[in-house]
Structure 1
Amino acid sequence: MLMSTYGSRGDVEPLAGLAAQLRELGAEVRVCAPPDEDFERRLAEVGVALVPVGMSARELTKSAPLPSTLPERAAQVIASQFESVTAAAEGCDVLAATDMMPAAAGALSVAEKLGIHSVSVTFQQLTLPSPYRRPLEYAGRPFPLEVTDNRRLWELDAEINNELFGAALNTNRAAAGLPPVDDVRDYVIGSRPWLATDPVLDPWQQAPGFTDFDVVQTGAWVVPDANPLPPDLVAFLEAGAPPVYVGFGSMPMLAATDVAQVALATIRAHGHRVIMARGWADLDVLDDQDDCFVVGEVNQQALFPQMAAVVHHGGAGTTTTATRSGAPQVVVPQSADQPYWAGRIADLGIGVDHGGPVPTAESLSAALATALNPETRARAEAVAGQIRSDGTELAAKLLVDACD
């Protein structure tokens, strides 16, 4: 079985979870992903080798391509999918394509060319048309302010996807002997897309008469992390009251040093210690006091339940892990689907949607006051008990059954 993605840690981590479960069922698994060392290391932990595709996701994120170069970057991603996925798919029965639209379109085209059963998977529902919400906007391609009807906005979304990715996709398809695709988004979604999110955290609402596809919501794909916390981190945790975690994952963040210092001072003002995760923003506190501990890669599944609160960027994976832990959250969304997850956390009453991407002392203090309220903690613990734990098992069984 082959799984293909092109994105950040939050896009690779679910595939590690699914790969581990598939291996337990006796399947051979390959994962195509960007050639980042932390991705390779994470997949190796579950016994799966990474097949490199394209350039480093971390370097791509830090380079922040201009809107005008998006079609060119997308063309490179599509071409790399045709090249790498074609080679990796030899002997495979099933291909699962995830993440960004051009990458998924390329991988699904390879499956079509090779006659392999394929599944289109999304780790958030914002790419699935629905009259109940707006589509995401691409950088440099804002929707007209006067258009407020969601149905019309989804029509515009389809047009923009075709403008950005259609030419490059069809060029590669023609070279592979495939017919052109008229609608890139509809091609990627297909008739039965999978939504790998928890139905409590991310409920899908079918819209008869608007959508002509049936969503299979498997639950989130999570692999239990057996990595122990470092001894010095354990000692820090045991030395005092539960701290507040701050980390922004794969987000580079401008003014990261200022954000770190603001977070440190604000959390201290609330009487709590701090655990700061460096992440791709290279956060650091530049402080020698003993009430702050800086971590790199760490087992969040083991760490988050011990936190007074978790301050994070709102990626799908981090949001799911924090919700499962029962810790209150402050979500500081940076881009893409992160405002959606921040809204879901607020709607569920298990944390705060900070709103803007750069916290100030005042805004973060107000958010923490709510998150650290005992009522928020009680609600977060109650919701944690409702989050499904069988999403990976269900998805693995469905893929194995597709081979029969």
Structure 2
Amino acid sequence: MGRRAAVAGVGMVPFATPSRSKSYDVLAETAVRAALTDAGIGLDRVEQAYAGYVYGDSTSGQNALYRVGMTGVPVINVSNNCSTGSSALFLARQAVTSGAADCVLAFGFEQMRRGALKGYWDDRPSPFARFDAVLGDDGADVPMAPRYFGGAGAAYCERYGLDPRVFARIAVKARRHAANNPYAVFTGQVTVEEVLASPRITGPLTRLQCCPPTCGAAAAVVVSEEFARRHGLRTGVVITAQAMTTDTPASFGGDLMKLVGYDMTKSAAHQVYETAGVSPEDIPVVELHDCFTTNELLSYEALGLTPEGTAEKFIADGDNTYGGRVVTNPSGGLLSKGHPLGATGLAQCAELVWQLRGEAGPRQVEGANIALQHNIGLGGAAVVTLYEKVR
């Protein structure tokens, strides 16, 4: 990595349920314009663009960006399941740090349909065949993602003797944080009892412990520090370290926690900490991949925020929220802010940039000078990113 990449501008739109959303191209245009305005540049300065989305035809990224302008900039479409937004950011950062470009746009969007995630290509091998083989036919009538993450949560409960009610406390915390986020879908407060009383999906998961299908868009302008100085752009937030990992054979050895990416996350986080020279104890704020309450809990330990087997105490002590050791998902996370697949990683980026700038309003984590982002997609890819506030 020859030089550092700075995040000069970020933007996003308020996330919405499918019935209340505009079309993907309008969402993306709005987010991109916001990021460019925040950075203080026009599209004509952008040398490369990476567009992330999962549900859409090829070249949807071009169609969306053309609404902002037709500058001839190369547009590369990225699809990596739920880690798509961070994968676009990974490529943008890589282009800048390698010297291939000085100013790169990463944007992500999703126009989702109502209901659970599903595949659309049943005439060819499924990328989830290996995952399904691990689960077998147990609960085959349950949608794909809850089966995986519900099974992982149940495995954790069995291994460490966890009371499944602990997961519900994560959903309550998510709503409490989202109440201060104008971009979040669900801001109404809930109790543990209400979470547990919502319809059961599978294993320890109830409906209020699952992220909703969401539409939205977010974007980031990534630049070299030299470019920023030359054009008078801000360089107050830099990407200090970033790592992407994929599955190893251990993912499919029968451990359901590993099936949903525990090892991928742990490996990516280790690489980031080693590169940046920091430890998890140094981090005051994290946006992590809480597609289900079970995965938030698993991620606490995979990211090293608390030792393995101690997540229950971590939650009981309030160490995952304001006043505790590290504020997790101040935005409300995927559970409450929403999870438009292609936009999620870039929305996490936007939240953490605002936190490090001191622009998060009532969500602000006091004294935040570094921030960690975790975004995972089954199939699989995990991206962990460390941001730093610089003077």
Q: What range is the shorter-chain TM-score in?
A: under 0.3
| Bigger Rg, which one | 1
Higher strand share: 2
Hey, which of these two has a bigger chunk of helix by percent?
Answer: 1
Greater RCO (CA < 8 Å, at least 6 residues apart): 2
